Amino acid sequence: METRMEQDLKNNVREGAQQAADAGREAAGRLSAAMQSAKVNIQEKTAASARATDRTIRQHPYESIGIAFGVGVLIGVLINRR
């Protein structure tokens, strides 16, 4: 038969485990909300950057082609140096 002190100890352990589980669920919820917010923020910034890039390329098509060609040549030279 269990003594009163053993029962109290078991109850305290159960309560502590429940509190830890609740705190873990709460932290997971906060982390999930923060991740969702960051995802939305990144998507918005990416879309804005893509629109700005598209606008710039449409305003300066020949310069854009020249820059793309130059970057391609530079990458080709760097790859072939190995």
pLDDT digit string, tens, across residues 4-13: 888 888 888 8
pLDDT of residue 31: 96
CB of 36 closer than 8 Å to CB of 29:
no
Verdict on whether the full-model pTM lies above 0.85? no
The total domain count for the chain is 1
How does residue 61 score in pLDDT terms, banded at 50, 70 and 90?
A: very high
What are the tens digits of pLDDT across the range 4-57? 888 888 888 899 999 999 999 999 999 999 999 999 999 999 999 999 999 999
Domain that holds residue 19: 4-80
CA distance 51 to 48: 5
Tell how many helices (H) and how many strands (E) occur in the chain. 2, 0
